Amino acid sequence: MTTNQPYTVYILKCANNSYYTGVTSDIERRIWEHETGFHPTSYTYHKRPIQLVFQDILEISIKPSALKSKSKAGAGRKRKH
């Protein structure tokens, strides 16, 4: 199922200098969840405090899970110069 709802793509910088990329339809709620450790099994739980370093609102017709997986496709790979 696709949707035309606006989504926010965001990047968090974690306390250990790693980055987390996410997609949400409610950025304020999601940031609160990251900051408070609302989801104990989440990537950012043991890497708090977090800092929001990027966000962009997108109005697209796509499955949110597809967008998130594409944004994480290059995560962890080292760039060649």
Tell me what pLDDT residue 79 has: 45
Determine, yes or no, domain membership for 75.
no
Instruction: Select from 16, 20, 50, 57 the least CA-distant residue to 35.
Output: 50
| pLDDT-based confidence at residue 5 (cuts at 50, 70, 90) | confident
Containing structural domain, residue 53: 6-70
Number of domains in the chain: 1
- What is the pLDDT, as a whole number, of residue 58? 85
Is residue 22 a part of any domain in this protein? yes
pLDDT, tens digit (0-9, with 9 covering 90-100), for 29-77: 999 999 999 999 999 999 999 999 999 998 776 666 666 665 565 555 4
Residue 79: inside a domain, yes or no?
no
78 in a structural domain? no
What pLDDT is recorded for position 72? 61
- Asked whether residue 80 is domain-assigned, the answer is no
| pLDDT number for residue 6 | 87
> How buried is residue 41: exposed, middle or buried, by Cβ count under 10 Å (0-12/13-18/19+)?
exposed
What pLDDT sits at residue 75?
Answer: 55
Residue 44 placed within a domain? yes
Indicate the helix (H) or strand (E) that contains 51.
strand 51-59
